[in-house]
Structure 1
Amino acid sequence: MLFTKFFTKSITNLLAIFVIAFSSIASAGDNTDTDANGVILAGHDAVAYFTKNKAVEGSAKYTAIYNDAIYRFSNAKNRNLFKSNPEKYAPQYGGFCAYGMTFGKKFEIDGKAFEIVNGKLFVNKNLSVYESWRKDIPTHITQANEQWPSVEHIAANKL
């Protein structure tokens, strides 16, 4: 009886570990720039970029999942706006640096360097990189759009 209880508990624990490990691997996509916790945009509120035209920290209290990434929001209203139309608010190139994408590279972003162009959110590694990117935004978007399909599903460290 004691052995059966121990064996059952051990199998249950192993199964739980396997499920957790597998789910974190399965949800960590190469096509989104997320941190170790699966959070995109360095935790910034995707909707606030559009409504306040500034980078606003999101909260773990208000979240939504889209394309295997966890989005954080500063309030419930923004979370609900996002949920009603995530394609509108989600960043281009899976939240990777827009300027880096012009070279077919996936660079993490700090969430503070962004631009809304034709109703789409583009984020950059940091403000210094953003300054280079904004010198010719139309060309850089064209170049990045050409690169994205060929690198979308490749891990950043493989590029």
Structure 2
Amino acid sequence: MKRILLAAAAVISLGLPVFAGEQYIDGTGYAVSGYDVVAYRSLPQSTVGTSQPSGVPGKSSLTAEHNGATFAFATEANRAAFLSDPDYYAPQYDGHCAYGVSKGGKVPGNPNLWRIVDDKLYLNITTVVNGFWEEDIPGNINLAEGNWPGIEPNNASGNKIPNFTSSAPD
């Protein structure tokens, strides 16, 4: 009887929504420093080991709320796309650095150090860290996925992104 109850509880819990932790928010007050998370999907992705194009800043007049944070968008079409499936467009690990999560910590993600892998947006904190992450992207994602459930409930990072000056969307 005990096993049946435990199995039923497991099945029921699998049907419950998974809630993300606190989104990383910098001094702009916006998720991803006010950059348009939908726009990354239309940017050309550089080969591993080379710099990605810079992210696209959003506008303060085009925003949406998700995961307790305000996201900004460059166009109304991007805002509409986000609203149709915010989890698809939002960065992994609540906007924290993918490599940092692979190492078991929460540090900010830089919106200009990004990569889309298996249709998911990942951010990293510095170019050096991004280089480490790119040495073994699948391995680092695997480590991060294993670490995330244990660190996800922790408060969002209060750290600042080094060598990055963010400004609130216009």
Q: Is the 8 A contact 1:112 1:126 kept in 2?
A: no
Give percent identity, aligned residues only. Answer: 36
User: Which residue of the partner structure matches residue 50 of structure 1?
Assistant: 41
1:98-148 deviations in whole A, cap 9, x for unaligned? 000011111112210001011000011133321211110000000000111
**Structure 1 residue 34: Cα displacement:** 1.0
Are 1:124 and 2:124 counterparts? Answer: yes
Greater fraction helix: 1
Equivalent position SS for 1:46: coil
In the alignment, the residues of structure 1 paired with residue 121 and residue 94 of structure 2 have an alpha-carbon distance, to the nearest angstrom, of 10
Q: Report if aligned partners of 2:28, 2:34 keep a CA contact under 8 Å in 1.
A: no
Alpha-carbon distance in structure 1 between the residues aligned to 2:66 and 2:155? 19
Per the TM alignment, residue 38 of structure 1 is displaced from its structure 2 partner at its CA by 3.7
Unmatched segments (≥5 aa) in structure 2: 1-19, 45-52, 159-170
In structure 2, distance between residues paired with 1:153 and 1:123: 19
CA distance in 1, matches of 2:114, 2:121: 7
Bigger relative CO (Cα 8 Å, ≥ 6 apart): 2
Matching of residues 1-159 of structure 1 within 5 Å: 31-36=22-27, 38-53=29-44, 54=53, 55-156=55-156
1:49-71 Cα distance to aligned partner (Å, 9 max, x none): 11224411111111111100111
Q: TM-score, structure 1 length as denominator?
A: 0.75
Q: Which has the larger radius of gyration?
A: 1
- SS of 2:114 mapped into structure 1: strand
Unaligned runs of 5+ in 1: 1-28
Separation in 1, partners of 2:116, 2:84:
19
SS in 2 for 1:112: strand
**CA–CA distance in structure 2, aligned partners of residues 67 and 61 of structure 1:** 19
Q: Figure out how many residues of one structure are paired with residues of the other and give that number.
A: 130
RMSD: 1.9
Could you tell me how far apart the structure 2 residues matched to 1:61 and 1:129 are? 33
